[in-house]
């Protein structure tokens, strides 16, 4: 993300003799340079000691770091000599691939152009629908309504007339979205009840990005702005890469700022000033959305933790902006009714999928256990059957057989084994 880079840390320099020593012969020197991974054309005429001394001076010097960065940027795209070192037939094939790539890039540019034109054409077709939706929500336009059984009786019993438009339409739509619902506090609800429309438009001219406009009924008891805007300036919309974010400064009415809370502290007994001490501090509110994180200038230093926190804040802010642009505005009525929330859960509820996988695994384990238990029971039954067959055969031969002895021994053994298995089952933890 642009504007989030921090100063490059100084690198430890320090010269040293080359492995293998020097050589007066140019051929041997090139071979040694190649072994060291250096480009002889680059190092030729360069004083290594001076280079290391210059690098050691970069620590804390932003001007030198910036100058070095510009020099390094100038080297980007320059030939490394790799392609030139290939066999001439391989080079020819690489050049042929380069021609194919150029054709591909031209087609991709044409695709992006047609995509932008198609997007613009359909935005124009959507616009009348959004305007009509806003008129119905505000109560500027009404529709024919047919009362169902019981509606008239309920209305007569309540003694109230039908409200104008659709009250709390955008507030409910936002509340039904899990991401946005986390941004809205109970203190925000009364102010967001005055929200009558949300629109999105592309930036004009060569500018890349989009602007969200939140339209509020006027007058309202919280601020004097009729429209609160949030502008996302993009470096690249296809990638996407965010350059900066701007928000409207809210003109709060006295004592109505929802983004701060007032703390009052009673003065100590005997204090000269008997008035309560008051101070304000920032608090959670959806309206903080219009005060996006400030991106520092490139030369400003940021600690690693600060840079990561800023990066997370910018990504979260952009995610919310895209939520309005791609989901809430195009499908507002489904978010108001809650249908879109259900569809969104079906599409993205990977937790349920994981839970299903767990249940399937548990079922398989249980099936294996049942199969093992059935096999053990089969083996015990086979043992009993074999014992009975042997007794029958022995009696047929006229031999003396003790009745029930082996069976009683087996039963006791079986009972002991079952008790043992029961104890095992009690000790094993359950699988959730």
178 to 74, 170, 172, 182, 338: CA distances (angstroms) = 47, 14, 12, 7, 11
Contacts of 211 (CB under 8 A, 6+ apart): 200, 201, 202, 203, 229, 230, 231, 232
Beta strands in 179-313 (DSSP E): 195-202, 209-216, 227-236, 241-247, 260-265, 277-282
Q: What is the pLDDT of residue 238?
A: 74
Locate 192 and state its tokens: 């967001």
Contacts of 165 (CB under 8 A, 6+ apart): 136, 137, 138, 139, 140
CA dist 248 and 213 (Å) reads 10
What is the distance, to the nearest Å, from the Cα of residue 4 to the centroid of all Cα atoms in its chain?
A: 19
Cβ distance 227 to 217 under 8 Å? no
Locate 67 and state its tokens: 């100058």
Locate 194 and state its tokens: 């005055």
Q: How many CA atoms lie within 13 A of 289 on its CB side?
A: 28
3-state secondary structure of 31: helix
Which conformational region is residue 205 in: left (phi greater than 0), alpha (psi within -120 to 50 degrees), or beta? left
Q: What is the pLDDT of residue 60?
A: 54
pTM assigned to the model: 0.60
CA dist 72 and 86 (Å) reads 26
| Domain boundary assignment for the chain | 48-107
CA dist 310 and 302 (Å) reads 10
Task: Write phi, then psi, for 21 (nearest 5 degrees).
Answer: 75, 175
C-alpha angle 206-212-215 in degrees, rounded to nearest 5:
135
CA dist 319 and 208 (Å) reads 17
Q: How confident is the model at residue 99 (pLDDT cuts 50, 70, 90)?
A: very high
Q: How confident is the model at residue 7 (pLDDT cuts 50, 70, 90)?
A: very low
3-state secondary structure of 241: strand
Locate 419 and state its tokens: 């008790």
What is the distance, to the nearest Å, from the Cα of residue 11 to the centroid of all Cα atoms in its chain?
A: 34
Cβ distance 170 to 196 under 8 Å? yes
Q: How confident is the model at residue 346 (pLDDT cuts 50, 70, 90)?
A: low
What's the Rg (C-alpha) of the chain?
Answer: 39
Average pLDDT over residues 119-140: 95
Question: Residue 81: how many CB atoms within 10 A of its CB?
Answer: 10
Question: Percentage of the chain surpassing pLDDT 70?
Answer: 61
Q: pLDDT at residue 419 above 90?
A: no
Q: What is the pLDDT of residues 14-52, one digit of tens each?
A: 334 333 444 444 444 444 444 444 455 545 555 666 666
Q: How confident is the model at residue 226 (pLDDT cuts 50, 70, 90)?
A: very high
- Of these ranges, 59-63, 293-297, 377-381, 428-432, the one predicted with the greatest mean pLDDT is 293-297
Average pLDDT over residues 130-152: 89
Locate 3 and state its tokens: 């504007």
Q: In what order do the strands lie in the sheet with 209-216?
A: 195-202, 209-216, 227-236, 241-247
Locate 65 and state its tokens: 């770091």
How is 293-321 classified by DSSP, letter by letter? PPPPPTTS---HHHHHHHHHHHHHHHHHH
Task: Write phi, then psi, for 216 (nearest 5 degrees).
Answer: -115, 145
């Amino acid at each position: 993300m642009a504007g989030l880079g921090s100063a490059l840390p100084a690198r430890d320099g320090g010269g040293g003799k080359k492995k293998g020593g020097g050589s007066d012969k140019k051929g041997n020197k090139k071979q040694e340079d190649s072994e060291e991974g250096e480009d002889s054309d680059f190092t030729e005429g360069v004083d290594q000691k001076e280079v290391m001394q210059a690098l050691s001076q970069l620590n804390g010097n932003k001007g030198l770091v910036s100058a070095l960065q510009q020099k390094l940027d100038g080297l980007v795209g320059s030939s490394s000599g790799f392609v030139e070192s290939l066999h001439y037939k391989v080079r020819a094939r690489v050049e042929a691939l380069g021609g194919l790539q150029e054709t591909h890039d031209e087609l991709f540019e044409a695709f992006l152009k047609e995509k932008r034109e198609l997007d613009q054409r359909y935005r124009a077709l959507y616009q009348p629908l959004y305007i009509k939706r806003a008129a119905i929500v505000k109560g500027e336009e009404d529709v024919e309504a047919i009362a169902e059984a019981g509606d008239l009786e309920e209305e007569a019993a309540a003694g109230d007339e039908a409200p104008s438009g659709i009250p709390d339409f955008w507030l409910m739509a936002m509340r039904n979205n899990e991401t946005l619902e986390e941004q809205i506090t109970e203190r925000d609800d009364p102010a967001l009840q005055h929200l009558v429309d949300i629109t999105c438009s592309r930036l004009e001219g060569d500018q890349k990005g989009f602007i969200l406009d939140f339209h509020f009924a006027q007058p309202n008891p919280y601020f004097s702005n009729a429209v609160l805007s949030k502008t996302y300036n993009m470096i690249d919309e296809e990638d996407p890469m965010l350059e900066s974010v701007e928000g409207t400064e809210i003109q709060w009415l006295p004592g109505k700022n929802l983004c701060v809370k007032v703390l009052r502290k009673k003065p100590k007994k005997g204090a000269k000033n008997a008035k309560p001490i008051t101070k304000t501090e920032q608090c959670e509110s959806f309206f903080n959305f219009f005060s996006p994180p400030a991106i520092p200038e490139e030369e400003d230093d940021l600690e690693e933790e600060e840079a990561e926190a800023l990066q997370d804040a910018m990504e979260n802010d952009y995610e919310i902006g895209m939520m309005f642009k791609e989901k809430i505005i195009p499908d507002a009525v489904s978010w108001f009714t809650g249908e879109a929330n259900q569809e969104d859960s079906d599409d993205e509820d990977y937790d349920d999928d994981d839970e299903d996988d767990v249940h399937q695994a548990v079922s398989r384990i249980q099936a294996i256990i049942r199969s093992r238990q059935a096999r053990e029971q089969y083996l015990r039954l086979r043992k009993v059957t074999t014992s009975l067959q042997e007794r029958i055969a022995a009696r047929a031969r006229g031999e003396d057989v003790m009745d029930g002895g082996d069976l009683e021994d087996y039963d006791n053994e079986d009972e002991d084994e079952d008790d043992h298995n029961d104890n095992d089952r009690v000790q094993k933890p359950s699988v959730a």
